[in-house]
Structure 1
Amino acid sequence: MKNLRTAVIFGVLIALALAVGLSTRADAPESVVPSVENTGAQGARALYLYLREGGRTVDAQTTSLESLSSNARTLVIAAPQGRPVSKEEVASLERFVRAGGTLVYLSPRELGKYQAALEDWLRLDSGPLMPASSRGLASTLADAGGTTVDVWLATGPLRGLANLRVSQDRGLRMLHDDAVPLAGLGGAVAVWHRALGSGEIYVLAGADLVENRRLELLDNLRFWDALAARGPLVFDEYHHELAPPPPLSRGIWVFVAQVLVVGLLYAVSRGTRFGAARPLRQERHRSALEYVRSMGWLMRRAKVERELLPELDRSLRQLMQERLGIPLTLTDEDAARAMERGGRDYLDAKADLTRTLAQPDIRPSDYARVARHYAHLERVVTGRESDALDRAA
Structure 2
Amino acid sequence: MVSQWLKEKKVILLFLGLFTVLMIGSYYLTEQPLEDYPPYHVESPAPDGTKGFYQSLAQLDYPVEKFTEHPAQLTGDRQTALFLFNPPIGMEQEMIEGYQQFVQTGGTVFLLFDQPNDLFEVDLTSVPIMEQEGEILVGEETYTGLLTSAFRVEPTNDDEVLILDGYGPIAIRHLYGSGQVIQFSEPNWFTNQAILEADHLAMISEIIALETYDHLLFETYHGQVETGLSVLDVMPNPLIMFGVIGIVVSLLYVWMKGKRYGPARDLREQVVRFGDERIRALANWQIKGRNYHQSLQIQVNYLKQGIFERTGIPVTATWSEYQMTLEQLLKNRTDESIQTFINQLSELLASEQVNKQEFLEWTKRIDEIRREVEA
Shorter-chain TM-score: which interval? 0.3 to 0.5
What TM-score comes out, normalization by structure 2 length?
0.47
